[in-house]
Amino acid sequence: MEDGDGVASARMALLDNGSLEMVKVVYCMVSDINLEGLDTVKTGSCRRFFGGRRLWRRRIVENEDIKKSQFPDGFLFGTATSAYQIEGAYLEDGKSLNNWDVSIIFKVDDADIADDHYHRYLEDIEIMHSLGVNAYRFSISWARVLPRGRFGEVNPNGVLFYNNIIDNLLLKGIVPFVTIHHHDFPQELEDRYGSWLSPLMQEDFVHLAKTCFKSFGDRVKYWTTINEPNLFSEMAYIMGKYPPARCSAPFGNCSVGNSDSEPLIAMHNMLLGHAKATKLYREQFQAKQGGFMGMVASAFMYEPLTDNELDREAANRALAFHVAWNLDPLVFGDYPPEMRHYHGSELPRFTPEEAKYIKGSIDFIGINHYSTLYAKDCIHSSCIEGGDRAIRGFAYLTGERDGVPIGEPTGIPRFFVVPRGMEEIVEYVKKRYCNMPMYVTENGYAPPKQEAVQVQDQLHDVKRIEFHKAYLASLARAIRNGANVRRYFAWTLMDNYEWVRGYSLKFGLHYIDRQTLKRIPKLSATWFQNFLTNSSFNNEQVVNTSSFTGKNVLISGLEDKKTEI
């Protein structure tokens, strides 16, 4: 039986009792999707999709050039940032200290000044305008708007700052996409009750969301509540690398924490905080403001390490324990059955009342996609590095097969350049969530350590161009294949404070001189501008044979830039 829109098909499904059974899977009818408004879908008929062999059978052709015209009309291209990574002004105009400001663990740099966006936002908006983007994804600094959370007043200076950003974006014809919470929150909320480990944090988050809807909702139509709850839970509560730095062996060596259970609790509170904020928006604001709500999940792709059935199942489990952990509750009202089966009572439950309002609590899905990893089965064979734990779905994740990396390595150990992964993950999300509207809210490239690399060479970032071209081509294939993807945000506008890796890791289309904070466009900024404006140039020249696709890369119209590498 073939899969397809409006087609019912039979699939093997893992049931709560652990057995496999044939189930009927019904996909949305194409007519359920409003292609004009671009943003609504009825999820009523959507049933879970459980991966399966077919995902791995397809061989994907990667060598392909990419043009903006290959994307549907109305597709928005933008750049993405987050407050803590760029704003600086860490104690100005009433902002309080947040979890990152006070964290001393694993910090190589601080973000006290960061890119000084707080004082230079007009220049940054001008840069985006000249790039030609028509959308900008940024986040709100919780400690700037509500320095004491629910326990104090709204900071008018914080509200003014974001009002200025929103107004100036709109003046330039750039659509604001606001992330309400992206990894940073007032430290007081940690000190008072342990932040996301407590249900009290849900109320604080709703208070922040309400403040945002009230203050900005007349102009902001696209909201994502929380950025990557799955990655934040992993980094803060499994690995203990993000504040509050809690973990247990074998995942890390923290003084407190429990890597097997706390991430599940933190995620549960984030999902409920999201659902309550969405409920509030829909009841009190949506009719008047007419906006859309989404959530952003970190979305790695996982492929089986070997071609055997057990590793295929491990890859499906890895997807369920990483991506579906975050997204299933928002669409179906509960965690993936695979997680229920392997976690047992440790996995929190939604009350019937909660299940009702968490189900269908998104109008669109945001995915941040960077990389693909291999998954190896750890149920039937022994594994290291926590692969043999339920929290990892009994899957060992690795970027290498027989010593050969899955793609070219980058500046982050688990990030490899695997362009086909974009098509594969979009296909997975499309199938599992009934092809509801999907936005690629982050995708970008950071080269291996740049400290020793001359500025001129950092500016000549051919690999970043190759990366975006190859991933965009992969995305375009998914769209041609029916995926309902509407936006793409490049991470990121400019080099910035990359969390625990500080300023050494550079994802930016613009270079920042750390002494003067001057913004300097890299070659990739010029490429993106050309891509966005559909410019054609006379002086095309072959710059390199792409190491990602094995194809010659054409860089156009850059005669004033250095071209040798």
23, containing H or E segment: strand 20-26
Nearer to ligand FCB among residue 101 and residue 228 (C-beta): 228
Binding to ligand FCB in span 56-85, by CB under 6 A: 82, 85
The reply to whether 228 sits near ligand FCB by the rule CB under 6 A is yes
Nearer to ligand FCB among residue 394 and residue 499 (C-beta): 499
> Phi and psi for 334 in degrees, rounded to 5?
-160, 165
Assess whether 442 carries a catalytic annotation.
yes
* CA–CA dist 306, 426 (Å, integer): 22
The reply to whether 267 sits near ligand FCB by the rule CB under 6 A is no
Q: From the list 155, 227, 230, 248, which residue makes contact with ligand FCB (rule: CB under 6 A)? A: 227
Assess whether 228 carries a catalytic annotation.
yes
> Phi and psi for 293 in degrees, rounded to 5?
-115, 140
Nearer to ligand FCB among residue 230 and residue 316 (C-beta): 230
Nearer to ligand FCB among residue 228 and residue 262 (C-beta): 228
Structure tokens at 144: 């700037």
CB atoms within 10 A of CB 260: 19
The reply to whether 443 sits near ligand FCB by the rule CB under 6 A is no
- From residue 82 to residue 111, the character string flagging contacts with ligand FCB as x (rule: CB under 6 A) and all else as - is x--x--------------------------
Q: From the list 507, 511, 527, 531, which residue makes contact with ligand FCB (rule: CB under 6 A)? A: 507
The reply to whether 298 sits near ligand FCB by the rule CB under 6 A is yes
Nearer to ligand FCB among residue 85 and residue 155 (C-beta): 85
* CA–CA dist 144, 182 (Å, integer): 13
Residue number closest to ligand FCB, CB atom: 82
Cα 374–chain centre separation: 20
Give the shortest CB-442-to-ligand FCB separation in angstroms: 6
Nearer to ligand FCB among residue 82 and residue 546 (C-beta): 82
Residue of 234, 408, 423, 442 marked active site? 442
- From residue 388 to residue 427, the character string flagging contacts with ligand FCB as x (rule: CB under 6 A) and all else as - is ----------------------------------------
Nearer to ligand FCB among residue 82 and residue 233 (C-beta): 82
Determine the residue type at 450.
Q
Site residue total, ligand FCB (CB under 6 A): 12
The reply to whether 230 sits near ligand FCB by the rule CB under 6 A is no
β-strands 408-409, 416-417: how paired? Answer: antiparallel
Determine the residue type at 400.
E
Confirm if 74 and 173 have CB atoms less than 8 A apart. Answer: no
Give the shortest CB-296-to-ligand FCB separation in angstroms: 8
Residue of 190, 228, 234, 408 marked active site? 228
CA-closest candidate to residue 75, choices 421, 489, 365, 558: 489
Q: From the list 396, 489, 499, 503, which residue makes contact with ligand FCB (rule: CB under 6 A)? A: 499
* CA–CA dist 322, 428 (Å, integer): 13
Cα 193–chain centre separation: 27
The reply to whether 231 sits near ligand FCB by the rule CB under 6 A is yes
* CA–CA dist 337, 274 (Å, integer): 21
Q: From the list 98, 248, 368, 526, which residue makes contact with ligand FCB (rule: CB under 6 A)? A: 368
* CA–CA dist 254, 246 (Å, integer): 6
Confirm if 475 and 68 have CB atoms less than 8 A apart. Answer: no
Nearer to ligand FCB among residue 66 and residue 505 (C-beta): 505
* CA–CA dist 258, 346 (Å, integer): 12
| Long-range contacts (CB closer than 8 Å, 24 or more residues apart) made by 256-259 | 259/386, 259/389, 259/391
The reply to whether 262 sits near ligand FCB by the rule CB under 6 A is no
* CA–CA dist 189, 87 (Å, integer): 21
Angle at 513 between CA 508 and CA 516, to 5 degrees: 140
Q: Select from 158-166, 225-233, 374-382, 530-538 the region that touches ligand FCB (CB under 6 A).
A: 225-233
Residues that bind ligand FCB (CB under 6 A): 82, 85, 227-228, 231, 298, 368, 442, 491, 498-499, 507
- Active-site positions read 228, 442
